[in-house]
Amino acid sequence: MESEFLSTMTLTFKLAAITTAILLFIAIPLASFIVFSKIRFKSVIETIVSMPLVLPPSVLGFYLLIAFSPSSAIGTFLGDRGIHLAFSFEGLVVGSVLFSLPFMVHPIQAALSQVPHSIFEAAYTLGKSKIQTMFHVILPTIRHGLISGMVLAFAHTVGEFGVILMIGGNIPGETRVASIAIYDEVESLNYAVAHQYALTLFVVTFAILLLVYTLNKKSFEGTR
């Protein structure tokens, strides 16, 4: 039982770490586009990004399951190339990235919207390109937003249940993450084991949040 517990917890944090890394790569350009772009239908993109905040997880999970199934066009296309996302860890990653997207994008978007335009002008005056300005000037300036987004995305992925259950099921060592394990153990009346999973998630997420808020507070006080 101990090995199963460790396997489940390792899989849970592995999923959260991979999801957070992918989201960071996606969210920075996406948030920059939302903040700085002046296209007419930008509100449509913002709506799509924000939908997981109000959309029931089972809805997204259901449509992803349909899309990943071998009978769908997407599932057939992927299957012909040896990629099977339904009831697999890779499918969990895709679902988690989509469902946790706003938790990464919104803090970065909020931080970018507070950056004075004069910073861009100063960087361009010094001969910095847009890419150099982003990596060497803007990203260090919005580090609080980046950290907040990473923490929120990580924590949200760790606690996700509905999407994971729909597209991953409950396969030990493959898709059985801690949230699914808690539900499964409660269903089996194994409250002691469920408590072990739940307490571990509580302690780890509390410690991560406390560390981040402490570091952010010290960093903020250091700039005053």
pTM for this prediction: 0.88
The whole-angstrom separation of Cα 115 and Cα 118 is: 8
**Which 8-state DSSP code applies to residue 55?**
S
* Tens digit of each residue's pLDDT (9 = 90 or more) over 115-170: 887 787 777 777 777 777 777 788 888 888 898 899 889 989 998 998 999 998 88
- In this prediction, residue 223 carries a pLDDT of 52
Reply yes or no on whether the pLDDT at 171 is more than 80.
yes
Matching CATH number, 2-36+56-222, of 1.10.3720.10, 3.40.50.300, 3.40.50.12280, 3.40.50.720: 1.10.3720.10
**Residue % of the chain over a pLDDT of 70:** 95
Query: Three-state SS string across 67-135, please?
Result: HHCCCCHHHHHHHCCCCCCCCCHHHHHHHHHHHHHHHHHHHHHHHHHCCCHHHHHHHHHCCCCHHHHHH
